[in-house]
Amino acid sequence: MPAAVLDLELSDAIPDISGLDRYTSAYVVLRLDGIPVGHCWVPVSAGQLDRAVLREGIANAMPALSRRWVERELHHRRPRGGGANPPATVAICTRDRTADLARTLPAAVAAARGRPVLVVDNCPSDDSTRELAGRWPQVRYVREDRPGLNAARNRALRESDTAVVAFTDDDAVPEPEWLEALLGGFDHPMVAAVTGLTLPLELETPAQEWFQRYTPFGRGYFRHEFDPLHCSPHAAGQIGAGANMALRRDAIAVAGVFDEALDAGTPTRSGGDHELFTRVLAHGYRIVYEPAAVSRHRHRRSWEELRDTIYGYGVGVYAMWTGKVVRGDVSVLRQAFRWAVRLQAPALARSVLRRPGASPPDLVLAELKGCLHGPWAWRQSRRRARAIA
C-alpha cells in the first residue's frame, strides 16, 4: 500500500489529519520554523492520523528538534565569514526525462530567485528537452554530446561564470529556500562543497518505500562540517548526494573536475559525486552538509527499477574504489573491507534469516552483484573514455 508523504510544522498546533483513505501509513517530515528536524513513520487508521500517534513520532525526533528550538529561543545566528551569499548558477543535467524535468524546472527557477539556470542536455534522443527549456526565459539550454552524467556536470562547470554552481537532478524538486541554504554553507573560503537534505517526493509504491528505507539520500537533520583533519576522504558516502549539492568552482579547479569515466551513462553506473568528494577532502578543503537545503526526489516506482538502481550503486562504489587502487591509493582497500564486513555481510545475514526490518534478499544480492562487477565496469569505462577522447 502507498504511504502518504506529509509535512508537519511543530510551531503550530498539532492537528488531526484526515483524507488519507488511500494510505495505510505516512512518512511525516517534522519541521520547526520550516526547517526539517526529523521524520517518523506512523500508521494511518481509517484514513486518519490522530494527534496521539503524531506526538509519539515527534518524541523520537527530540535531539534535532531540541537544538533547533534552542537556536530559535536564543535568536542564534551562526556567524558568517563572507558576508552575502556568493553568486551562483543552478545546473540541471538531464537525459530524455522531459516529463520529470517539467516538474523540476519551475521549482529550480523559483529557488534561483533571478540567478542563472542552466539545463545541460546529455546525448538527447530528440528535441523535447530543448523545447521545454525554451519556454523559460530565465533558462539557458546547452547540449553535451559526450555521454555520461559527469560529462554533463563538467560542461555545467565550464559554461558557468559564477563562483558557485548548484546541482539538482532532473527527477528532484528543490524547495523555495534550497539554494539560499546551500549558499549559506559557503561561510569559509576552504568550504569547497555543500550538500543538502533530500527527502522523498512520493512513496506511492513498495519500491519507492523500500528505496527510502534501504538507501535514502538524506544524511540526517544536523548540520555537519567534514574536515579532512577529522574524517577519512574515503568516507564520502556520509556527505550527501549529487542530486543536491553546490560546488565552489575555483576549489574544484584545484581538486580536479568530475571523472567522466564514472556515474550514470557509463558502465560504472554511479559514484561520480562521491569520487569528487574524496578528492576535495584529500586536497584539504571542507565539505558542509546543510539539512536546511531541502530537495524532494522522485524515487523509482517499479521494483525492477529499484533493483537496477541498487545494483548500479554497488557497481559505482567498487568501480570508484578500483580507480583509486589503480592510481596507487591502497588505503581504500581498508575502507572497502570495513564496508563489506560491517555493512554488507550483516545486511545479507539479516536478509537470509528474515530478521524483522531486514531488506528483501533480491535487493541485497543486487548490490553485492554490482560490487563484484564494479572493477570490470571501471576497466570498460576507462577504455570507452580513451576511445572517445
Residue 338 confidence (pLDDT) above 60: yes
Angle at 301 between CA 300 and CA 307, to 5 degrees: 60
Show the DSSP H helices in the chain as ranges: 51-59, 62-73, 98-112, 128-133, 149-159, 178-184, 206-214, 249-255, 272-282, 303-326, 332-339, 345-352, 361-388
CA distance 264 to 319: 12
Q: Of 5-14, 62-71, 82-91, give the lowest mean pLDDT range.
A: 62-71
Angle at 11 between CA 243 and CA 62, to 5 degrees: 70
Q: Dihedral of CA 156/161/165/170: which sign?
A: negative
User: Which residue(s) pair with 94 in the sheet?
Assistant: 121
Longest CA span, the chain: 62
Single out the residue of 240, 154, 163 nearest to residue 197, CA to CA. Answer: 240
Q: Dihedral of CA 239/220/242/268: which sign?
A: positive
Single out the residue of 300, 283, 287, 290 nearest to residue 214, CA to CA. Answer: 300
Decide if 236 contacts 332 (C-beta within 8 A).
Answer: no
CA distance 6 to 328: 47
Q: Of 74-78, 85-89, 240-244, give the lowest mean pLDDT range.
A: 74-78
pLDDT tier for residue 357 given thresholds of 50, 70 and 90: confident
pLDDT greater at residue 353 or residue 157: 157
Mean pLDDT of 141-161: 97
Range 88-301 classified under CATH 3.90.550.10: yes
Residue 23 confidence (pLDDT) above 80: yes
* Domain residue ranges in the chain: 3-73, 88-301, 304-388
Return the beta strands (E) in 153-232 as ranges.
164-169, 172-174, 191-200, 224-226
CA distance 358 to 376: 29
Decide if 94 contacts 101 (C-beta within 8 A).
Answer: yes
pLDDT greater at residue 15 or residue 370: 370
Q: Which three cell numbers stand for residue 91?
A: 545546473
Q: Of 71-80, 106-115, 304-313, 334-343, give the lowest mean pLDDT range.
A: 71-80
Residues 6+ apart with CB under 8 A from 365: 348
Helix (H) / strand (E) containing 16: none
| C-alpha radius of gyration, the chain, whole number | 21
pLDDT tier for residue 55 given thresholds of 50, 70 and 90: confident
Coil vs helix vs strand at 261: coil
What Å distances lie between residue 240 and 68, 214, 246, 248, 378, CA to CA?
21, 15, 11, 16, 22
Decide if 177 contacts 294 (C-beta within 8 A).
Answer: yes
pLDDT tens profile 204-221? 999 999 999 888 898 988
CA distance 354 to 250: 50
Mean pLDDT of 363-378: 96
Q: CA 287: distance to chain centroid?
A: 14
